[in-house]
Chains A and B, each alone.
Chain A
């Protein structure tokens, strides 16, 4: 899922310095799973902002809502009846949700409460890590199911680079070497000879490098 983290309270609070009526909207999907922007986090943010503003002697009125998700118009529609009453909207969705809300409500100032980080997985409760870069041309069948683009700090297609120590990347002992994982997987699967096949230079045009991307399914359009 998409993993995000709440921005520092100070940054969020300074975004709404001059506002006294604020709507905070959470999202029930990815950001709920990674405990960044679900209903719980909306309540926490509201309480925190309330206290920050009370302390400054500049009280604030906050309404709290949480939608199923903010990347689908039908859920965003649920705000139409009252969003106009608020000077500013703080969205606790990922970057996609924040933008979609802004698109649907052109007269509302929609602010991001989160920093969207990556597409990843829950390693354990409280620990999420990156797995996929959305490069648009999946190569997992070539590398034993471990992504060289997302999990190698240099996105090498013919790694490792020689900077790893004890299976950890040169950039940090907390980061596992992606190519170490690939080699171990290929070895476990009895496919180590695949390692010697040179993976040719990548076509990055399917990645963001080629421009903002879109998928259209005519068969599904009414």
Chain B
């Protein structure tokens, strides 16, 4: 084991893992995070906590992770490189580890233009791949980026994101290869709607043997409404929503639209379980965290394996 992470244990054992996500509040009220955590407890092996997602200021990921840890969940701290330089990043990694957080998802981060502080300075001292390298260096070699030794290495399970649907397609697998070479342990993909395209990407991934070097979790997000499906199709970069799914949502009777969204999500999970190289699913139920339990149950993934010790 590289880390002290339960998620790592579950994946190493060959169990199909389930992770989910929650966003911290736009204020200092810890109760908001606690409530979300309670909805997920027992249904997931790990919970991502976003880091000022879309550049909108929220309670910090590290603090929200600590709150969730207190509830008995396994937080996965998301860290973007947009807002902090290498000094702050290494410092936060040490702090997070000291507070018992042992999963980290290394991300670049949306440009600050999207958020509520578009005039802010753009840090990006490093990118997501260099962040993966940084955590690995601290964990496995016990060193800081400057080369000095650190005392008490952070035993973190290192994750990163992958988007098989983003431009340009030709480097989507080389990009994953780069992250694997940098030392990533697990990958969560962008939400999957176009299964044939995803299967094509996975085939290329397997051709290079990458699926044996990293645990890939397929991302899924249920549609709440036709509007949401359309929005994701047209307005979210790097998202591929096939027309048939929009048609299915439209065809569903008015009161049953959300249910159809969940159905599509569960079908996707079932198909993902059959793909060689997929070791888990990452359920992103944005502002719909209460549905995660139902999705996990109906997909046949409940109860979650319990790790002793």
Contacts and interface: CB of A to CB of B under 8 A. Distances in A.
Interface of A: 153-167, 170-171, 177, 180, 183, 187, 192, 195-196, 198, 200-202, 204
Contacts of A180: 167-168
B178 A170 contact: no
Given A154-B82, A156-B124, A198-B181, A170 B237 contact: yes
Interface residues of B, number: 34
A78 B177 CA distance: 61
A207 B238 CA distance: 32
Contacts, number: 91
Contacts of B237: 162-165, 170
Interface stretch (B4-12, B19-27, B126-134): B126-134
Contacts of B190: 162
B119 to A, nearest CB: 14
A167 B166 CA distance: 10
Given A160-B166, A162-B238, 12 more contacts: A155-B124, A162-B108, A162-B237, A163-B166, A164-B166, A165-B238, A171-B113, A180-B167, A198-B181, A200-B130, A201-B130, A201-B145
A192 B177 CA distance: 14
A183 B168 contact: yes
A48 to B, nearest CB: 29
B174 interface: yes
B86 A201 contact: yes
Interface string B105-122: 000111101100000001
> Which residue, of B125, B127, B133, has the highest number of chain A Cβ atoms within 10 A?
B127
Contacts of A167: 167-168
Contact of A154 (B86, B111, B145): B111
Contacts of A196: 174, 177-178, 181
Contact of A177 (B113, B134, B167, B182): B167
5 contacts: A154-B122, A163-B111, A165-B167, A183-B170, A200-B133
Contacts of B109: 154
A183 B171 contact: yes
Contacts of A156: 108, 124, 127
B163 interface: yes
A154 B124 contact: yes
B170 A163 contact: no
Nearest to A169: B111
Contact of A160 (B124, B125, B167): B167
A167 B171 CA distance: 13
B135 interface: no
